[in-house]
């Protein structure tokens, strides 16, 4: 039978009215109830909002040093791991046999003083009193009762006390939620104000570390975040130096992967968003990761905490916090708090884990903003380069608007262009210089689904060897002397479009291997870059060399040749499509008449016949230049091709005027003697100039009747 005293309720209500922390609330309740009910030990169980976890508070006069001073203990555990789960659905005053609680207690975190007390004290039963506020179950009060019967009046009195406590607990929780909300809002505003305007990666890293360390003091920080759609990643870590300041420490993304791999091998942690790694598990991580072995040996890091957060916009964020064995946080984690942590092996408090879980989404928003800003800058730079490139193309292009001709030879080429254009296959265009290989490449691009994206042209023969790699793949700022800013390469510029590699046979072998990787993997790295860049580029190559022979000579990689030669197209020389010359002639006359502001001119039949008979070693380009030059110098209505033709087109010599080898040799010797002032042998002589022995030259002079004095007289 309990002694019913309303003064207890009034005393409890007055004492707890202004308390704002749960453990102080329980301490006050225990002290007040102990004065009247005279028990040595009591406990309070508080359920969380979801009724899946609970907080367990225990107090009693069981201290060995000073039994008059209460000892307090506290820990959290899942509701399913406690004996109270079955009482949540139908809460009422229950008398529980202590033997039911004992098996669960042994699984809870240990408290040596409490354990010794329970071992020497014979507690047979515990009364469980539900605490309700506003119709909601808040938790239970647990009091040791050795009597096996309680009257209805006893139960009513205990329930009244419990409900007063429940009301106070509800007020404390409401205050805590409001306080937490205010703190979170303040932290969020501080984070946003501090970081949202930061546009430099190094400054962003420094500020992120400062904010994390301000919230959760630690000796080691790693934050890894990625944007999978943009193929952008940021990973940094910092170590606290002797001056107490965090300093950047090199880290690769595979160090984070090592932690995630270790986590996946721990079944109980596999689905959790947080995991503390210490002891043997941390030693195992160090054996698998050189990075963590280094931070352990050089910086005494002994425990790390992994916090994970998944974001649809940003991908995955992984925050790793570390503390050293000498850290002050390991020695005093609850400075100023009355209730000790039960599991003394943990380096991070639960509220610190909660704080990390809260800060990650905020950092995710900031990093997403940073990635968006970086992507905008990247697209802006790319657009600017593309604009400049297109302007260069307008200035440098040969202004072909279409492929001119209807000869059978060119029709074969056009049919192949129609076949391959929509397939997106790699094309190798072969042909002599000036045949219009670039024009064929543009036709393939314009007939493909990539026509709305960039067509980027690279002349491999015109690039200096030292700059080829930078031109093709780009470089990071400071990657080599003269790299004063980041440069986007032509492959990145041509993403989702087409890149035309003209004169590909001129590429050095070391660049050929990198080009092969792009063909196979669709990825590359900028010079000095650490991240892999993926591109969707169609490659069209062109050459006037016979690449199969270049492969035999070891000047071109066989594997690259086979990858390029998926769909070969050979552009015929102009001499094999001479029937197209009149059409080309008309096109160029119209083009350059308009360009020079002159009237269109006609061509004499004799000049046209001469053009048709010429073999055109320079092909269409040679024809174009010839017409442009003739329009400039011609007056009247007829195109004056005489001077241009005879200077450019060498007519065949008559048989009568054809010289024999002996005549040519004699003229060559006379020219050498004339240049050397008749000196036959010795330094700067005719024999040296001709590359033959002096005696041999003398013999030939006698044979051809050449006399040295005659050569000198003629020269004078």
**DSSP code string of 106-133:** TTSPP-HHHHHHHHHS---EEEEEEEEE
Give the CB-side neighbour count of residue 375, counting CA atoms within 13 A.
15
DSSP of 154-201:
HHHHHHHHHHHHHHHHHHHHHHHHHHHHHHHHHHHHHHHHHHTT---H
Q: Is the dihedral of CA 454, 460, 461, 466 positive or negative?
A: positive
Quick: pLDDT tens for 643-687: 666 665 554 555 556 777 888 888 888 888 888 888 888 888 888
Q: What is the pLDDT of residue 242?
A: 66
| Residue 498 confidence class, pLDDT cut points 50, 70, 90 | very high
Question: What would the two tokens of residue 620 be?
Answer: 């269409």
- How far, in Å, CA of 16 to CA of 328, rounded? 34
The CA distance from 321 to 329, in Å, is 13
Question: Which conformational region is residue 677 in: left (phi greater than 0), alpha (psi within -120 to 50 degrees), or beta?
Answer: left
Question: What distance in Å separates the CA atoms of residue 646 and residue 508, rounded to the nearest whole number?
Answer: 40
Alpha-helical regions (H) of 447-527: 468-473, 490-493, 509-521
Please tell me the predicted confidence (pLDDT) of residue 337: 38
Q: Is 50 exceeded by the pLDDT of residue 716? A: no
CB of 32 within 8 A of CB of 72? Answer: no
What's the N-to-C CA distance of the chain in angstroms?
149
Give the three-state DSSP class for 46.
strand
Q: Between residues 138 and 372, which one has the greater pLDDT?
A: 138
Give the pLDDT of residue 526: 84
Q: Return the structure tokens found at 574.
A: 């102009």
Of all residues in the chain, what percent carry a pLDDT higher than 70? 71
Angle at which helix 708-715 crosses helix 661-675, to 10 degrees, equals: 60
pLDDT, one tens digit per residue, over 549-582 is: 889 988 899 999 999 999 999 999 999 999 999 9
**Up-side HSE of residue 493: CA atoms within 13 Å toward CB?**
27
Mean pLDDT of the chain: 77
Residue 339 reports pLDDT greater than 50: no
Residues 503-512 have a mean pLDDT of 88
Band (35; pLDDT cuts 50, 70, 90) = low
pLDDT tens-digit readout, 433-478: 989 899 999 999 988 999 888 899 988 888 776 778 888 888 887 7
Q: Whose CA is closest to 426, among 606, 255, 263, 563?
A: 563
Residue 588's nearest CA partner among 635, 618, 623, 615 is 623
Among candidate residues 302, 307, 317, 314, the one with its CA nearest the CA of residue 355: 307
Q: In this structure, are residues 285 and 259 in contact, taking their beta carbons and an 8 Å threshold?
A: yes
Dihedral sign, Cα of residue 254, residue 259, residue 264, residue 265:
positive
pLDDT at 119 over 70: no
pLDDT of 632 reads 85
Q: Are strands 301-311 and 274-278 parallel, antiparallel or unpaired?
A: antiparallel
Average pLDDT over residues 420-426: 91
CB under 8 Å, gap of 24 or more: what pairs does 351-355 form?
352/216, 352/305, 353/274, 353/305, 353/307, 355/215, 355/216
Q: What does residue 65 show for φ and ψ, rounded to 5 degrees?
A: -75, -45
Label residue 542 by pLDDT band (50, 70, 90).
very high
- CA 368-371-376 angle, to 5 degrees, is 125
Total residue length of the chain: 716
In this prediction the pTM is: 0.45
144-164 residue pLDDT tens? 765 555 677 777 777 887 888
The closest of 593, 663, 597 to 627, measured between CA atoms, is: 593
């Amino acid at each position: 039978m309990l002694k019913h005293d309303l003064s207890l309720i009034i005393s409890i209500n007055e004492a707890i009215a202004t308390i704002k922390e749960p453990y102080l609330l329980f301490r006050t309740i225990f002290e007040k109830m102990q004065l009247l009910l005279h028990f040595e030990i009591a406990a309070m169980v508080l359920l969380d909002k979801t009724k899946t976890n609970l907080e367990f508070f225990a107090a009693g006069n069981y201290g060995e040093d000073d039994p008059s001073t209460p000892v307090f203990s506290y820990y959290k555990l899942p509701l399913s791991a406690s004996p109270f789960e079955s009482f949540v659905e139908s809460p009422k005053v229950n008398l529980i046999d202590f033997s039911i609680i004992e098996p669960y207690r042994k699984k809870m975190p240990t408290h040596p003083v409490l354990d010794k007390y329970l071992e020497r004290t014979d507690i047979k039963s515990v009364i469980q009193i539900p605490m309700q506020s506003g119709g909601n179950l808040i938790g239970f009060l647990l009091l040791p009762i050795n009597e096996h019967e309680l009257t209805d009046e006893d139960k009513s009195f205990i329930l009244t006390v419990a409900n007063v406590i429940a009301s106070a607990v509800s007020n404390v929780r409401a205050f805590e939620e409001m306080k937490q909300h205010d703190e979170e809002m303040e932290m969020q505003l501080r984070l946003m104000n501090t970081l949202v305007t930061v546009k430099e990666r190094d400054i962003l890293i420094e500020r992120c570390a400062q904010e994390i360390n301000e919230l959760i003091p630690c000796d080691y920080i790693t934050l890894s975040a990625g944007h999978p759609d943009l193929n952008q990643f940021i990973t940094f870590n910092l170590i606290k130096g002797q001056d107490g300041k965090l300093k950047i420490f090199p880290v690769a993304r595979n160090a984070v992967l090592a932690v995630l791999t270790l986590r996946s091998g721990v079944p109980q942690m596999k689905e959790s968003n947080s995991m503390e790694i210490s002891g043997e598990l941390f030693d195992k991580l160090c054996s698998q990761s050189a990075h963590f072995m280094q931070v352990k040996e050089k910086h005494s890091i002994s425990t790390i905490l992994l916090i994970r957060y998944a974001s649809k916009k940003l991908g995955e964020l992984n925050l790793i916090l570390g503390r050293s064995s000498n850290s002050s946080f390991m020695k005093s984690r609850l400075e100023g708090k009355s209730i000790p942590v039960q599991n003394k092996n943990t380096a991070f408090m639960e509220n610190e884990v909660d704080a990390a879980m809260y800060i990650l989404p905020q950092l995710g928003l900031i990093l997403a903003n940073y990635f968006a800003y970086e992507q905008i800058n990247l697209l802006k730079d790319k657009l600017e380069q593309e604009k400049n490139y297109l302007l260069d193309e307008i200035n440098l292009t040969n202004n072909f608007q279409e492929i001119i001709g209807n000869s059978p030879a060119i029709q074969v080429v056009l049919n192949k262009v129609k076949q391959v254009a929509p397939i997106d296959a790699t094309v190798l265009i072969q042909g002599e210089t000036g045949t219009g290989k670039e024009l064929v490449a543009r036709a393939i691009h314009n007939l493909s689904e990539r026509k709305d994206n960039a067509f980027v042209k690279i002349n491999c023969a015109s690039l200096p060897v030292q700059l080829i790699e930078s031109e093709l793949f780009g470089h990071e700022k400071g990657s080599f002397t003269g790299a004063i800013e980041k440069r986007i390469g032509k492959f990145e510029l041509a993403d989702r479009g087409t890149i035309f590699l003209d004169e590909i046979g001129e590429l050095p072998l070391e660049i050929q291997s990198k080009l092969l990787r792009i063909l196979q993997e669709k990825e590359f790295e900028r010079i000095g870059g650490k991240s892999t860049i993926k591109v969707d580029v169609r490659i069209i190559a062109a050459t006037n060399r016979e690449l199969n022979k270049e492969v035999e000579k070891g000047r071109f990689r066989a594997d690259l040749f086979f990858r390029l030669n998926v769909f070969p197209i050979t552009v015929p020389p102009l001499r094999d499509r001479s029937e197209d010359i009149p059409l080309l002639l008309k096109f160029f006359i119209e083009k350059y008449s308009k360009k020079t502001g002159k009237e269109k001119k006609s061509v004499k039949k004799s000049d046209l016949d001469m053009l048709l008979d010429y073999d055109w070693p320079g092909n269409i380009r040679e024809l174009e230049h010839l017409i442009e030059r003739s329009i400039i110098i011609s007056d009247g209505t007829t195109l004056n091709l005489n001077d241009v033709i005879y200077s450019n087109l060498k007519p065949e010599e008559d048989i009568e005027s054809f010289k024999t080898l002996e005549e040519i040799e004699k003229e060559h010797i006379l020219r050498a003697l004339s240049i050397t002032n008749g000196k036959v042998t010795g330094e700067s002589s005719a024999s040296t100039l001709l590359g033959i022995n002096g005696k041999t030259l003398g013999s030939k002079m006698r044979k051809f009747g050449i006399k040295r004095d005659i050569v000198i007289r003629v020269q004078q």
